[in-house]
Copies of this chain bind each other. A is one copy, B any other.
């Protein structure tokens, strides 16, 4: 769960976030040099950003093709469960190949992003895993032919 209490970030915090978003393996010493601060002061700020759930994770972005995950698809899923329940979404979220589950406005359904080795393994996933989740009424699968950009970088405000 993500902190609901309000979060105040000053110029220094935002600079730390900008640097760590661009390179999570930057040393604390290099961060301190960039910010013209003592390493101990920077370390304390980083720990607080982690505690406050401003920084959620440090992760290596991998080339999907290198680890045999060449197929990317988006699936629109309609569920018969009433509003207020999101059991279907939670079940979808448990599937490791499912990277994203969003509840979307308008069409009253979920948008799911899935990555598998190829179209055969996507079919297998849909038959074996998705079809076992209750309340799914329909699915519409869109295959990605080519990805031109895929980053999670957020635009960090100036202040």
Residues on A lying within 8 angstroms of B by beta carbon are 2-3, 7, 9, 14, 17, 20-25, 52-69, 72, 74, 86, 89-90, 92-93, 96-107, 110-111, 115, 142-157
- Chain B nearest Cβ from A15, distance in angstroms: 12
Contact indicator B69/A144 (Cβ below 8 Å): no
Q: How far, in whole Å, are A14 and B93 apart by their CA atoms in the complex? A: 24
- Chain B nearest Cβ from A141, distance in angstroms: 9
Interface residue SS majority, chain A:
mixed
Given A67-B154, A67-B157 in contact, is the A59-B146 Cβ separation under 8 Å?
no
Q: How far, in whole Å, are A3 and B89 apart by their CA atoms in the complex? A: 36
Q: How far, in whole Å, are A21 and B59 apart by their CA atoms in the complex? A: 5
